Structures are given as C-alpha cells and as structure tokens.
Amino acid sequence: MIVVLKHGVEREKREQLIEWLRGQGLGIHISEGEFQTVLGLIGDTSRVDMDLIASLGIVDSVKRVTEPFKCCNRKFHPEDMVVEVGDVKIGGGNFCMIAGPCSVESEDQIVTVAKAVKASGANVLRGGAFKPRTSPYDFQGLKGTGIELLKIARKETGLPIVTEIMGVNHLPLFEDVDIIQVGARNMQNFDLLRELGKLRKPILLKRGLANTLKELLMSAEYIMAGGNEQVILCERGIRTFDDYTRNTLDLAAVPMLRELTHLPIIVDPSHATGIARLVPPMALAATACGADGLIIEVHNDPMHALCDGAQSLRPEEYDALAKKVYSVREVLNK
Amino acid sequence: MIVVLKHGVEREKREQLIEWLRGQGLGIHISEGEFQTVLGLIGDTSRVDMDLIASLGIVDSVKRVTEPFKCCNRKFHPEDMVVEVGDVKIGGGNFCMIAGPCSVESEDQIVTVAKAVKASGANVLRGGAFKPRTSPYDFQGLKGTGIELLKIARKETGLPIVTEIMGVNHLPLFEDVDIIQVGARNMQNFDLLRELGKLRKPILLKRGLANTLKELLMSAEYIMAGGNEQVILCERGIRTFDDYTRNTLDLAAVPMLRELTHLPIIVDPSHATGIARLVPPMALAATACGADGLIIEVHNDPMHALCDGAQSLRPEEYDALAKKVYSVREVLNK
Amino acid sequence: MIVVLKHGVEREKREQLIEWLRGQGLGIHISEGEFQTVLGLIGDTSRVDMDLIASLGIVDSVKRVTEPFKCCNRKFHPEDMVVEVGDVKIGGGNFCMIAGPCSVESEDQIVTVAKAVKASGANVLRGGAFKPRTSPYDFQGLKGTGIELLKIARKETGLPIVTEIMGVNHLPLFEDVDIIQVGARNMQNFDLLRELGKLRKPILLKRGLANTLKELLMSAEYIMAGGNEQVILCERGIRTFDDYTRNTLDLAAVPMLRELTHLPIIVDPSHATGIARLVPPMALAATACGADGLIIEVHNDPMHALCDGAQSLRPEEYDALAKKVYSVREVLNK
Amino acid sequence: MIVVLKHGVEREKREQLIEWLRGQGLGIHISEGEFQTVLGLIGDTSRVDMDLIASLGIVDSVKRVTEPFKCCNRKFHPEDMVVEVGDVKIGGGNFCMIAGPCSVESEDQIVTVAKAVKASGANVLRGGAFKPRTSPYDFQGLKGTGIELLKIARKETGLPIVTEIMGVNHLPLFEDVDIIQVGARNMQNFDLLRELGKLRKPILLKRGLANTLKELLMSAEYIMAGGNEQVILCERGIRTFDDYTRNTLDLAAVPMLRELTHLPIIVDPSHATGIARLVPPMALAATACGADGLIIEVHNDPMHALCDGAQSLRPEEYDALAKKVYSVREVLNK
C-alpha cells in the first residue's frame, strides 16, 4: 500500500501517522521527493482501513498495490477456472448457453421450454422459483413447487438447472439444484454469500445494479474464501442515467474481468435490456467480445408470441439466435 | 392504469390485447384520439405486469395512475407518522438526533461516546455490531458482543439504541434493540424486509446506493404490508459518476419523499460524504430542507483527533454542529 | 400529445388548463375514466412546452405520441440513409472503417499511419487538428496546419478525411475536409449545429457523455432541419459510476438507434474504453450488434509500441483486428 | 507527478519509460519499495499527458501531486475572490440573490418581475435572451431584443443583469451585459471559454450535467488563464439514474469547491429540480451549507399562478423564500 502525503505537512503530524502505522505492525519505507512524501507500507496491509487513511487531513491519496481479492485473482490463478456441472463445462474456452423462462409457471410450461431450448443447443436450464419483486404485491414465484418442476424438466431433458436463491433460510430447498444463482439485488448480501461459501456447488453471481467490477470480485471472494471456488460471474446491465433500456449493458466488463480473474464470465442480455428484440444483437455482441456464455429468457407463452413482446424470446427466435452465436464463435476461434 | 397504443396498430393485434386484458378481470375504457388510442384499465391492476405490457410491440407506453405503494402513501395517510421509541418521538415535527460510532469497539468507547453525544443533545445512540464490509477480510464487527455493549451504554445514558441487521438469522439477537437498521446494501433484501414486517418495532430503512425513491417506498411497503408500520426512511447518498465524495447526497429526496409518504425522513451526512469536514455543512443543509432528523458518526478515538480525519466527528465537533442545527430549526419553525 | 390529469383535480383548474391549451391553437379530446382524465391534444404540438405542462400541480404526466424529431425519424424515412464521401458509402449495409491517430503530429506521422491503415482496409482517415482538452495548458492540436497535413495524407492515399471542429469561427478551415466531426462535448453546442446545417457535407456527430439517445437525435435534427441531411451518429461511451474504463460503451444504443432513425450509426471503441487492449473485443462486439462502422485510433509512435499502452492500436494490431471484423460481418451477413 | 509502476515489471521497459520521461525535460526521483517502484517526476509536469502514462502496460497508476488548475486554486489564492458588479459584491461573505424569469418575453414582463424581485431583496436580475433548447423547433429566445429588454429593466430598477451566451459570434451583443452566463451544455465549449477569458467582465459558469468538480475548475481555468479572473461557479444539478427531479442537486459540491477554490459558488435550485415547490427547501439547504448566493427563476405569468406549476416561483413565493434565506444566513453567521 502506498500513502502519498500532502505537500508541506507538519512534521509532527507526519510522525504521528507513521508511528500509528507502525503500531499496526507495518514496516514503512519513506521516500521524500521535492513535492511530496510517499510512504510504502510493507507487511500485511489487508486489514488496514484504506478509507480511514485516505480521509486524513495530511494524506493526499492512498493506493493499494496488491488487489484486495485473492481467491479470484488471475495473478495467483493464471489458468482459467472451469466450472463443471455434470457433463457441462463452463469457462476455459467452453461456451455455455443457459436458457429458460423468467418464472417457472407450470410443469407443461417448463418442460416444453426445456425441450425447445435443448433442441436449439442450450446446455443449462434456467427458471425462477423465488422471484425478487420490487413490490410485495407482485407474484413472488412458485417457490418450492417451482424447484420441483425444474427437477422434472431436468429429468425429461437431462439439462442441469439453475435458479435464484433469495435467503439463507431457503438453502435446504436448493440441495438438489445444480447451480445456485445470486441475483443482482443480493450481490452484497454478505450473510448469504458466506453461507454459499460453505457449499461445494457452482454459484452464478450476478453483478449488482450499481456495483463496480472490484465489488463484484470481492463478493465472489466472500464465496471463495469459504472454500467454494466454483463461481460464475454474470454481467447483466448497470443503472445509468439512460432509460431507453431497463439497464445499460456494460460489455467492456467482459474483457476487463477476463484480465482480473480466472472465473468464467457470462452475460444476460435479457435483463440488461428488458426488450426482446434487443436480445439477439446484444447476445451476439457479448459472444464477440469473449463471454463464456449467455443466459437468455425463452418463453412459449402465446401472449408473447401474439404481441412480439416482453424480454423473452420465443423458442424459434432463440433457435435462430443460437445458430448465429455459434457461427460467430466459430469464426473468432479460427 | 393507462395503456397508450402506438399510432396505426393493426386492429387485430389491438383486439387480442384488449381481450387478454379482459381475461385478467379488468374493465377497459377505450378512448380513440386522432393520433393514438388510450386504454384505461379499470379494476385491480396491482397484479398486472406493467413491464410486460410496456414491452409489447403495439404499446407506446403504460402509466400507473395509482401508485403501487399503499401503506406508506401519504394520500391514504395525510397525517405525519410519528415513530415512538421510549420517550423519543421521530417524525411529525419532532427532530431526532442519532449519533454514535461507526463500529462498537469496546465498553469504554461506546459508553464514553454515548455520554458525550447525549450531552450535546442526541436522543438516540447508534453503533455498528454487524458490519457489512465489501471485503471478507475486513473487520466484520463485534456482532452479539457489540449489541451487549450497546445495551450497557443505553443503561448508562438512557438513550435508545439503533444498530444494523444483516440477515434473518440474527433476529433473535435484536430482540432488545430499540430500532433495527436495514443498510443500503440490504434495501432490496426482500426476505429480510418481510421478516421485519412481522415485528412490532421501529425499522430504520436506508436508501440503496442506486435506488429510486419509488423503490425505497416499495421496500418500506414490504415491511408495512406485514403489519409493522413504524418505518423511518433514511437518505444516505447515491452512487453517481462523481467521485470527490463517497456518494452524492440527494437532499431533494427529503421534500419529495415528504410529499409521497407520511413516514419520517432522516439524513445520514456521514456515509453520504465519507469526509468528516463535509458532515457539518451537509447536516445543516439537511436540516434546512426539512429532514426529521440526522444520523451522524461520532468517535472519540485519538487517531481521529490527531489527524482531523475520517468521516467521524469528534465529540466537540458534534457539539458545535448540534447547536447550529437547533438554531436553524428554530429560525425556520418561527 | 397526451396529458394525464391527476385523480380528483378541481374542475375549475382543469377548465383553466383546457382553455389555456385551446388558446395555443390546439384541439382537445377529453376522455374521462374512472380514475383519471386524459386530454388528447390535437394539432401542432411541436411548440408546446411539455416540461411546463408536466410541472403543473394538476397534471400527472405528459406523453408525446409523435417523437419531436422528424428529419432523422425512421418512421418518415424507412430506407437507410447512405452517406457518400467520394467512393465511400456509409450506412445502408456498407461498413465503414475510420482509422488514424488521435492528433495529427507531423507529415511523416500522418502519412505513415494513413498508408498503414489503408493497407488494412480502412476507408476513411481520422486525425485531430483541433483538440478539445480539459486543461488550457494541454496540447491543443496543430489546428490549421494539422488540417493541411491531413490533406497531404489524403493525396498520398486517396482516403477521405474526417476531423473535429470546435467552433463556428473555424469553419473556413474545414472547407476542404470531407467529413466534419462534432465531438461529444459539443453535441449540444446548438449554435455550431445550426451552422453545420447550412453546409452540404457529411457530419459525424458524437453522442455526449451524459446524453440520451433522444437528445442525440434532436442534435442531429438541428443539423438536418437546416437542410444538411448527411449525418452519421457515433456512440462513444457514456459517463457512469463505473471507472475501470474511461467511459461505459453503451452498445445497446446501436440496435435501438437503428429502430429510431435511418441514419448510419458507428462506434468509437477507443474513446469509449481509453485502453488499447479493450479496443479489439469492443470493436468486434460493435460489429456483431450491427454497427455501420468503427472509428479507431491507430498510432505508430515508438512510445506506444514500446510500452503496449494508451488507447491507440499499433498498425499491426489494427490489421489483425480488421481481419476479424470483416470475418464477423461476413458470417452474420450470410 | 507520481508514477507507480506495477510489481515485477521488466527492467528494460522500466528504463525505456524513465528515459522517455527524462526526454520530456523532467527529473526523476526513483523510490524502490518491496512491492513497487515509485517514480517522482520533478519539473514542469503540466504538459505531461497523464492519461497516456496511466495507460502504459507497466504503470499501475499516476497521481498528480499538484492540481492542474492554478489561477482558480485556493492554495495560491487563500483569500476569497470577490466579484464586483456595480455596487453588488459576490463572494467573500457577501450573499447574492439573482432572480428573474427563465426567458425574457416582453418589456412588461421583465420590468414587472425585476421590480418584484428587487422588492424582495434580489440584487441581480436574470433573464434568458438566447435559449439553449434541445429541439430546433422550440422557442429559441428573443435574442438581441431580449438583451435590450433586460437593459430597460436594469434602467428601471438599477439591478445589474446576467444572461446566457451561446456562441462566440454573439459576443458583440453582450458588451453592455453585466455578467455573462455560460450554460451547463457549454461548460466545455473551450473556444467560447477562451474568448470569454479575453474580456474583463464577470462570467457565471454553470457546471455541466455530467462534469466533475475538477472539470468545472479546469473550465474556470480556461477563462482565468486568459486574464479574466472574475468567474462565479454555479452548481445546478447533475444527471444521475434518478428521475424524480430533472437533475440531482449536488450540494456537497459547495463546501468541497470552497476548499479547492477561492471563487464564489452559487446554487441554482430551479434548474436542478425543475419543480417549483422543491425550490424553497433546496434554496434553504444551499444557504445552510454555505453557498455564496442563489439564482432562482421567478415569473409573474398568470398560467403559472393559475396552476401552481413549473419550476418558476411566483413573486410572492420568492418573497417568502427570500425572508427565510436571510434568516438562515443570519443565524449561521452569528
């Protein structure tokens, strides 16, 4: 950690700070320049409160030299992490196509959609059982029943299943779920993350609406620090001033995360845009910039078919998209 | 709910939509203008998926006429809600001064600070026992012990206590806490909100970093829909492109929330700015625009005193600020 | 335009509003629903101040049914606009590759880079002569001399040239420039836009850092309303809370603008990210989601070559990228 | 300037960078720590391209030790700047109340409003003659005629006048204007700023919608570097995800700018919120956090009076607000 002191600070205050830092068990390397003094802190700085030091009147700025994340840091894990779910591999050059309806509604619905997306090349089935809704009066999902229906669809198709958890209390219901999803609103529900770190099961961690990449990695770190290393990161749009789409899909996060971490990175163009007709172009863009997979909403509801609407694709639209996705991957992997 | 159809939509698609809406048990009032058709939906629209309709190809826009929040809606509760904690009243013209350290560190620390802020006029004591930290390696708080120390400070000073909860599992530890705080990162932890709705105890609900006022009210609604009406809202800064302060304090939220809801609204200038010397001006600004109270970090640690730093005020700084706050209130209430 | 009145407004205030609207020469179609009254305004609403009406105490919301942009509205121009510069066509299925250095520095530099990018398939040469710099003390470009050097490079390579204008006063210097660029900071310099509308020369209009798509289109409208229809839009990143890249590239703007307008839409991954190694993945993503072209910084400066740095690609990196871009286009156009 | 190199960079690359820096005429102070190497650049670093260095592969981060702004830097000008316009003083403990209509509409209108606001204590008259409008079809102001009407109102009341300039070409019309305003959209119209730097007349510089405080100060620097030191800064709301007000008023900018610069800082609550009934609370908040003045829209139009609307206050509302503003100032200055 490097601490840059302001120009012309009183010697006494400077000494007090240095003494205080030494009291924290740190070695201090002092470098006095013409315009500033730079303190290099040597030792275990992971417990040093960077914000506190930065806020001191005599400090100009503080800079971590080593990132605060370790388990998910590519520096220490140069090889891509490959998450395995049955026969499906995610990361390390393997492309994963997760698809399914927003909410599980009925056995017929989930099985029909599962078969359709499998036929188009999807290798994981998604479906919401617990739904995080802004309003307490909105439909909250089929909960336990929804998970049971997902298992039926898994049995019928062989597709592993992924579904979202909303609280530590529901963990027992997720025992036989293949991948547990943490939604954007729970990305910093640290208690939940810590519990998921005790499992030995893949976690699909979605980026929060207003979270930086570093915060996303620190949340992955919460899970991995507990011993569960199978974390899949998901970019799903951030909140900006822009309101023509539900969120702003931040695709540069894909190559940037690729540098920072060895974890697989997938993209959710459905939630990012909230508009079905924008899903195919953004899915192709995500593929072209190197994502390890896509999670896409597909629905066979006649209402959707009827009105060309919502953020869900119809099975035939998904099929057409999947073909294009594979051809873009192929041409870029040549 | 009002649905505006696009200009020149096919009659057939329009009829299918209307039929589908009627199938949801709604009456439809159709108004055909020169440039558009407007559908007025009559009946219980609280379960209608507004996003779904808005995303349909033939729909231009959808507008809720009645807000989706009820329990916390001033329209239905014109009188200010007054939350009572022992002798302390919050809201309805009563000003509340919550103060204390960021984290509870020791009995000596919390008791000393509690006595100091009480002497300056504070009427509620704050102190973190469970700390939501971005990093799993940072200090996570004294947890249960921290709550016990808060109770000791309460006994010594008579000040009611407020402290943050991070998960449903910890609820038993909060039984004897006077006000339970929900932090910004948990504002949309709906499972937690629902559990807090079952209590009969004041909840201090902080606005999330990237949440709209409507989302804040919907989270209050989660608590109130469960029967717990004692919710205090707290503006604590939002995340913007601006980085000279930790967050951007959005003070216009205070008068705007005042219109929308009858709940008390307080302001946290400490977390909003992250810089101690900005706390007094922003506390005064919050007072001047009509906040019902302030929650401010106060610390007696010599490190802070030494270096003029961090976001915590020293007791003597808090004392000076409190005097000014009261004088601004007095002159504006004349 | 549709005006939704609040529930239960006083009849007198409502009548006054209607009378005032009629006084503006508008017909009013009144539709009274159970919960609200909707006024449909008939006639030329383009001069009605929507913000003013929306701010009235009795008004719930105002909605334009017809977009306020006309010249650049796809509704009225279903065919793609094709901008022609010499032999180069931009838009309408033609892909344009604009490349060159950030600043023109010397004849040798600009000619060398021009030849290199041409060899890689670029069909327009870019280079800054007037540089908008945050600091008055930073290098402000070679100005007139820079434009002369661009012309030399054009003569040597046959590539048409594009360069940025910063003020109306410099227009005479741009007479022989093929495409005039309006930078992000001048997107709402309405005086400049109006003057450019008097030319008959292609304008490359970059989206402002915090501007919506509608605002971008309204700025294009300023140019087109003057009679200059040759406008090329450019997405170049927006300002968000995120700071790992200089800006956040908003690629969903590409397919969304495609719906709204018939103008060509290109993407600038260099300014959007500010990091050379992120330019190739984002250029490929932009291609995959349907952009009509790319504008990319290429530089042959040894400093860059030396240190793998900055947002500029070296010629050999650009060459490798161009090949991939073309192969993605080919596979998606099949 | 301090350059922190990444851990473990190749010696050769490091030497090349150091050589290149020395070639720019800089002295280099090298400090090697256990974890990093820090280069302290000595000499005139104002022309060093910080972004370029930061983007190099071997560089971890770059930090300016001296801010890039000088003329407006409080470090070099510890005394508050006082801008004088006739008898009116702005800054240095003097409070300025600028008021008037959004647009000048007629002699009767501007004179009536001018008299009213003067009676309430306003000491500068505002009124738009050139209006920056998002749409080319919206009312663009009375232009030269508007300025003439402002002068009439000045003659009638003695109030100095402030009005917005939109382009260099209009400068001759502003010769007899007391304070020239640069609007938010032109904050980085560097050509305009440079021209205004040649005048010897106060400039009211509004913060751009998505500009940082540092960028605002750099724009002031453009004017001051030209020799015109009379710059007044104005916070008027920034663009965020939040949409309940037109912009988000960033009041913490007031005390923060106070530290960074000696220039006067005023606040525009009218444009920041866009809602008349939020103007009084935010004006009081701005006063309480130490602003040097307020610029507020006041209008006597019957339409506004009629409907309680828009962002303009009626004269009687302004009068009531002004009284409260003065009483808050009084109590805080005690």
CA distance C156 to C152: 6
Q: Which residue has the higher pLDDT, C246 or C310?
A: C246
Q: What is the mean pLDDT of chain C?
A: 90
D41 and D131 belong to one structural domain: no
What total of structural domains would you count in chain D? 2
* Ordered per-residue pLDDT tens for chain A, 334 residues: 788 888 778 888 888 888 888 887 888 888 776 667 878 787 777 667 777 787 777 888 787 766 788 899 998 899 999 999 999 999 999 999 999 998 898 999 999 999 999 999 999 999 999 988 888 888 788 999 999 999 999 999 999 999 999 999 999 999 999 999 999 999 999 999 999 999 999 999 999 999 999 999 999 999 999 999 999 999 999 999 988 888 999 999 999 999 999 999 999 999 999 888 999 999 999 999 999 999 999 988 756 544 444 788 999 999 999 999 999 999 998 8
Instruction: Give me D55's structure tokens.
Output: 């983007």
A257 and A140 belong to one structural domain: yes
C242/A213 touch (CB, cutoff 8 Å), yes or no = yes
Whether pLDDT at C308 is above 80: no
C59 and C83 belong to one structural domain: no
CATH code assigned at A162: 3.20.20.70
| Chain A residue closest in CA terms to C209 | A241
Please provide the DSSP assignment of D236-278 as one string: --B--S--SSSSB--TTHHHHHHHH--S-EEE-HHHHH--GGG
Is C69 within a domain?
no
Q: Quick check: C104 and C149 in contact, CB under 8 A?
A: yes
Lowest mean pLDDT among A34-43, B82-91, D231-240, D252-261: A34-43
Tell me the shortest Cα–Cα distance from A34 to chain D, in angstroms: 7
Q: Averaged over D15-22, what is the pLDDT?
A: 86
CA distance B237 to A70: 30
CA distance B153 to C140: 62
| H helix or E strand, kind and range, residue D304 | helix D302-307
Considering only CB atoms, which chain C residues are within 8 Å of A278?
252, 255-256
| Chain D residue closest in CA terms to A7 | D65
Considering only CB atoms, which chain A residues are within 8 Å of C255?
277-278, 281-282
CA neighbor of B260 nearest in space, from B67, B82, B92, B96: B67
Residues 6+ apart with CB under 8 A from D218: C134, C135, C136, D68, D69
Mutate to test the interface with C, among D169, D306, D314 (most CBs of C within 10 A): D306
pLDDT, residue B180, reads: 98
Is C117 within a domain?
yes
pLDDT, residue C203, reads: 98
Whether pLDDT at B117 is above 50: yes
Considering only CB atoms, which chain D residues are within 8 Å of C221?
135-136
| Chain C residue closest in CA terms to A286 | C285
Least CB–CB distance from D36: residue in A2, A33, A239: A2
pLDDT, residue C302, reads: 52
Is A23 within a domain?
yes
Q: HEC states along chain B?
A: CEEEECCCCCHHHHHHHHHHHHHCCCEEEEEECCCCEEEEEECCHHHCCHHHHHHCCCEEEEECCCCCCCCCCCCCCCCCCCEEECCEEEECCECEEEEECCECCCHHHHHHHHHHHHHCCCCEEECECCCCCCCCCCCCCCCHHHHHHHHHHHHHHCCCEEEEECCHHHHHHHCCCCEEEECHHHCCCHHHHHHHCCCCCCEEEECCCCCCHHHHHHHHHHHHHCCCCCEEEEECCECCCCCCCCCECCCCHHHHHHHHCCCCEEECHHHHHCCHHHHHHHHHHHHHCCCCEEEEEECCCHHHHHHCCCCCECHHHHHHHHHHHHHHHHHHHC
pLDDT, residue D307, reads: 42
Q: Quick check: C196 and C190 in contact, CB under 8 A?
A: no
pLDDT, residue D308, reads: 40
Q: Averaged over C140-160, what is the pLDDT?
A: 96
pLDDT, residue A309, reads: 45
Write down which residue in D36, D63, D90 finishes a domain.
D63
Considering only CB atoms, which chain D residues are within 8 Å of B257?
none
pLDDT, residue C34, reads: 63
A189/B189 touch (CB, cutoff 8 Å), yes or no = yes
The pLDDT confidence band at residue B308, using thresholds 50, 70 and 90, is very low
The most confident of A63-72, B171-180, D51-60, by mean pLDDT = B171-180
Tell me the shortest Cα–Cα distance from B243 to chain D, in angstroms: 8
Tell me the shortest Cα–Cα distance from C239 to chain B, in angstroms: 6
C192 and C300 belong to one structural domain: yes
pLDDT, residue B87, reads: 92
Is the ipTM above a cut-off of 0.85? yes
Least CB–CB distance from D29: residue in A27, A33, A40: A33
CA distance A297 to A306: 17
C56 and C88 belong to one structural domain: no
Considering only CB atoms, which chain D residues are within 8 Å of A33?
2, 29, 31, 40, 42
Whether pLDDT at B305 is above 50: no
Chain B residues bordering chain D (beta-carbon distance below 8 Å) = 210, 212-214, 238, 240-245, 248-256, 259, 272-273, 277-278, 281-282, 284-290, 324, 327-328, 330-332, 334
Lowest mean pLDDT among A122-126, A132-136, B42-46, B234-238: B42-46
C45 and C108 belong to one structural domain: no
D210 and D94 belong to one structural domain: yes
Q: Which residue has the higher pLDDT, B17 or C328?
A: C328
* Furthest C-alpha separation in chain B: 75
Least CB–CB distance from A281: residue in C249, C255, C327: C255
Whether pLDDT at D302 is above 70: no
Is D161 within a domain?
yes
C53 and C101 belong to one structural domain: no
CA distance D68 to D71: 10
The pLDDT confidence band at residue B38, using thresholds 50, 70 and 90, is confident
Write down which residue in D63, D83, D106 finishes a domain.
D63
Strand order in the sheet with C37-42: C27-32, C37-42, C2-5, C59-63
| H helix or E strand, kind and range, residue A83 | strand A83-85
- Give the three-state DSSP class for A189: coil
Residues 6+ apart with CB under 8 A from B151: B161, B176
Whether pLDDT at D89 is above 60: yes
Lowest mean pLDDT among A28-37, A101-110, B53-62, D159-168: A28-37
Is C256 within a domain?
yes
Considering only CB atoms, which chain A residues are within 8 Å of C254?
281
Instruction: Work out the end-to-end distance of chain C between its first and last CA atoms, rounded to an integer number of angstroms.
Output: 42
C218/D135 touch (CB, cutoff 8 Å), yes or no = yes
The pLDDT confidence band at residue B223, using thresholds 50, 70 and 90, is very high
Percent of chain B topping pLDDT 70: 95
pLDDT, residue A1, reads: 78
C221/D55 touch (CB, cutoff 8 Å), yes or no = no
B174 and B303 belong to one structural domain: yes
CB pairs under 8 A between A and B: 141
B31/C40 touch (CB, cutoff 8 Å), yes or no = yes
CATH code assigned at C6: 3.30.70.1140
CA distance D100 to D115: 10
Whether pLDDT at C57 is above 90: no
CB pairs under 8 A between C and D: 144
Tell me the shortest Cα–Cα distance from B9 to chain C, in angstroms: 13
Q: Does pTM top 0.90 for this prediction?
A: yes
Is D264 within a domain?
yes
Mutate to test the interface with D, among C16, C24, C189 (most CBs of D within 10 A): C189
Chain C residues bordering chain B (beta-carbon distance below 8 Å) = 2, 4, 7, 27, 29, 31, 33-36, 38, 40, 42, 60-61, 63, 65-66, 210, 239-241, 243
Tell me the shortest Cα–Cα distance from B328 to chain D, in angstroms: 6
Chains contacting C (3+ CB pairs below 8 angstroms): A, B, D
Percent of chain D topping pLDDT 90: 66
Q: Averaged over C317-324, what is the pLDDT?
A: 97
B10 and B100 belong to one structural domain: no
- Give the three-state DSSP class for C292: coil
CA distance D11 to C306: 13
The pLDDT confidence band at residue C305, using thresholds 50, 70 and 90, is very low
pLDDT, residue D309, reads: 45
Q: Quick check: A307 and B13 in contact, CB under 8 A?
A: yes
The pLDDT confidence band at residue D34, using thresholds 50, 70 and 90, is low
Q: Averaged over C93-110, what is the pLDDT?
A: 94
B93 and B176 belong to one structural domain: yes
Is A75 within a domain?
no
B20 and B110 belong to one structural domain: no
Q: Measured in whole angstroms, how far is the alpha carbon of residue D270 from the centre of its chain?
A: 15
Is A68 within a domain?
no
Considering only CB atoms, which chain C residues are within 8 Å of B60?
63, 65
Structural domain of residue C133, as residue ranges?
74-333
Q: Quick check: B136 and A227 in contact, CB under 8 A?
A: no
Write down which residue in D33, D63, D93 finishes a domain.
D63
A33/D66 touch (CB, cutoff 8 Å), yes or no = no
Q: Averaged over B113-127, what is the pLDDT?
A: 97
pLDDT, residue B209, reads: 95
Whether pLDDT at D39 is above 90: no
